[in-house]
Homo-oligomer: A and B are copies of this chain.
């Protein structure tokens, strides 16, 4: 391809008010243009990269026996009612009505449609396992699209779905995907980390996120400084310290605490350290109320609470509801003597694992400006369940090895889920087992955001001058910079290099423009071509310059030798 014929609208200046490096560089180097908030046009350079990514994904999906489909973006709303997910995803689902008045959704994911195909066509265990995938456009009405291709409202997703007879089959399909994902991300040149994750709106029993560590990510991750443990903060656990069960119990005693509203206030006022306080929170979920108890020094992890309550929606109860229920305002709440259950104002009392067995704690007395001390969890509070509800913080002990945990920021580029029977139950997708009974399919679902992956690669592969595409994704593997196209000798050498390389299947760009050398060098580095051959004055004596965009090394070589080196590097991938 000749640069003069190729559409590469580079900009001289960085685009305004852009933060992420990938966003800045993709716009400036002429890869993408915004059409409207969170919606981008991919220009030819970006589409070349996208096709290479999709090709790698296709190869790896086929290597695990996955079969390619193409499902519609337009989906009848009834499917989402059937699966019971319509409300959960309503906020980010684009909805529309057709000329006949039917309600349609633009697919934000395809569990429902694939399950509807499976239930109509898969009848027997003999047809299992199946892995079905597509690379298709997803639509999500994100509240805050951002960062160019990092979070958009329309994007290409590789989504796959596995259908198995039983848990061990699902384990295998899940493992195969984990292996395929490892290979895909490695071939794309990414430095990534699989982490344990929360399943969120997808439902299901287990999931792994593939994260790229970068400050432009939106996920907080917990990693161990000693072992391989890594988890999304929503899911991360830490070792619970053992309660002081040998401590002598004291009696309950209320005491006035005028103006005390916070854990910190109470520390100062009554000398009760945060670790000796019980924090009492009240949450509304699907119309009901629950009390949530944490140690005073801990924060609630809402994702864990959603998982525990198996609810669709969750929010802190508002002030008036709190007062009406507890008889006091936030700041003086406590769970001593509260009864929960059917017919009660509060449906359940949950406490973090770290409160189990604790004695002589301080908490609110459900009377404004009054607290109570001497609280023993087992004796004074009707806890329905102790479970892990707290948000891990840096320095806690790793649940696997006891090592010290760290917090880092990550960008999710892939996510694999064990869905189990979440969709096959609600949508009635069953198959005949070998013993003649019918049972729901065990499903998994697995996604990679294609354009986000491209942005992640740029985040990890750039310098001050521009992008540095890993060889397997580069829109062009090599660029030939012809310095003086009026010089017959130079033109001849450039032309020969170009024909030999394109003939050998190397994606080659020939910069034949009438521009200064500096402009050409800068542009080639900005768009991130991994190798550059400069054809200048030395071409007269058969010498060209080979520049490596990664090592930044520049060496003079004879034309023949340059050809050999470039071909070798391009075929290595």
By a beta-carbon cutoff of 8 Å, the part of chain A in contact with chain B is 5-7, 9, 33, 35-37, 39-44, 46-48, 50-51, 65, 67-76, 91, 94-96, 98-100, 102, 104, 106, 113, 116-117, 120-121, 130, 132, 134, 137, 139, 141, 143, 153-154
Q: Do B91 and A94 have beta carbons less than 8 Å apart?
A: no
Bound CA–CA A46/B67 (angstroms): 11
Please report the C-alpha to C-alpha distance between residue A42 and residue B5 in the assembled complex, in whole angstroms: 36
How far is A134 from B137 in the complex, measured between Cα atoms in Å? 14
Contacts of A106 in B (CB 8 A): 96, 106
Q: Are A36 and B68 also in contact (CB < 8 A) when A41-B117, A132-B7 are?
A: no
Determine if B35 and A99 form an interchain contact, defined as CB atoms under 8 angstroms apart.
no
In the complex, chain B residues whose CB is within 8 Å of the CB of A120: 33
Q: Which one of A71, A72, A94, A95 has the greatest number of beta carbons of chain B within 10 Å? A: A72
**Nearest chain B CB to A442's CB is how many angstroms away?**
17
Q: Which residues of B contact A71 (CB under 8 A)?
A: 35, 41-42
Known: A35-B113, A41-B72, A67-B7. A96 touches B95 (CB 8 A): yes
Q: How far is the CA of A116 from the CA of B39 in the complex (A)?
A: 14
Q: Are A99 and B91 in contact (CB under 8 A)?
A: yes
CB distance from A81 to the nearest CB of B (A): 14
- Pick the residue among B40, B72, B94, B154 that contacts A39 (CB under 8 A): B72
Residues of B within 8 A of A113 (CB): 35, 41
- On chain B, the residues within 8 Å of A9 by CB distance are 121
User: What are 12 A-B contacts defined by CB distance under 8 Å?
Assistant: A33-B120, A33-B121, A35-B72, A39-B72, A40-B72, A41-B69, A41-B71, A47-B134, A73-B73, A95-B96, A96-B96, A99-B143
Residues in B with CB closer than 8 Å to A98 are: 94, 141, 153
User: B69 touching A42 by the CB < 8 A rule?
Assistant: yes
* B-side contacts of A33, CB under 8 Å: 117, 120-121
When chains A and B are docked, how far (Å) is the Cα of A539 from the Cα of B95? 59
Instruction: For the complex formed, measure the closest distance between the CB of A215 and the CB atoms of chain B, giving whole angstroms.
Output: 27
Residue among A71, A74, A100 with max Cβ neighbours from chain B (10 Å): A74
Partner of A44, one of B7, B50, B67, B154: B67
> Given the complex, which residues of B lie within 8 Å of A94, measured CB to CB?
96, 98
Judge whether A69 and B91 touch: CB under 8 Å: no
Identical copies of this chain, number? 2
CB distance from A432 to the nearest CB of B (A): 16
Find chain B residues with CB under 8 A from A48 CB. 68
* Chain B contacts for A69, CB-based, 8 A: 41-44, 47
- A130 and B76 form a contact (CB under 8 A): no
Contacts of A102 in B (CB 8 A): 36-37
Q: In the complex, what residues of B have CB within 8 A of residue A116's CB? A: 35
The 8 closest A-B pairs by CB, nearest first: A96-B96, A42-B70, A9-B121, A44-B67, A36-B76, A39-B72, A41-B71, A47-B68
> CA–CA, A116 to B33, complex, Å?
10
Give chain B nearest CB distance to A37 CB in angstroms: 8
Q: What residues on B are CB-neighbors of A42 within 8 Å?
A: 69-71
List B contacts of A41 (CB < 8 A): 69-72, 113, 117
The CA-CA distance from A153 to B72 in the complex, in Å, is 10
Q: Are B143 and A39 in contact (CB under 8 A)?
A: no
Instruction: Return chain B residues, CB-CB under 8 Å to A75.
Output: 35-36
- Min Cβ gap A495→B in Å is 18
From A36, A50, A76, A116, name the one whose CB has the most chain B CB atoms within 10 angstroms.
A36
CA distance A154 to B139 in the complex (A): 14
B residues in contact with A46, CB < 8 Å = 70
A120 to B7, CA, bound (A): 13
Closest to A70 in B: B42
Residues of B within 8 A of A65 (CB): 5
Task: Name the residue of chain B whose CB is nearest to the CB of A95.
Answer: B96
* A39 close to B132 (CB less than 8 A): no
Chain B residues contacting A7 (CB-CB under 8 Å) are 67, 121, 130, 132
List B contacts of A72 (CB < 8 A). Answer: 35, 39-41, 154
**Residues of chain B contacted by A121 (CB below 8 angstroms):** 7, 9, 33
**Nearest residue, chain B, Cβ from A123:** B9
A130 to B44, CA, bound (A): 12
Question: Smallest distance from the beta carbon of A65 to chain B beta carbons, Å?
Answer: 7
Nearest B residue to A114 by beta-carbon distance? Answer: B41
**A412 CB to nearest chain B CB (Å):** 22
Closest to A92 in B: B99
Cα of A73 to Cα of B137 in the assembled complex, Å? 9
Q: Select from chain B the residue with minimum beta-carbon distance to A514.
A: B126
Chain B residue contacts of A143, Cβ below 8 A: 99
Q: Closest Cβ of chain B: how far from A419's Cβ, in Å?
A: 19
Complex Cα distance, B9 from A73, in Å, reads: 22
User: Closest approach, in angstroms, between the C-beta of A59 and any C-beta of chain B?
Assistant: 13
If A7-B130, A7-B132 touch, does A74 touch B43 (CB 8 Å cutoff)? no
Least Cβ distance of A68 to chain B in Å? 5
Chain B's closest residue to A136 (CB) is B137
Measured CA separation A104–B153 after assembly (Å):
12
Residues in B neighbouring A68, C-beta threshold 8 A: 44, 47-48, 51
Residues of B within 8 A of A73 (CB): 73, 137, 139, 154
Q: Contact between A74 and B132 (Cβ–Cβ < 8 Å)?
A: no
Q: Is the CB of B74 within 8 A of A47?
A: no
Min CB distance A207 to B, Å, is 25
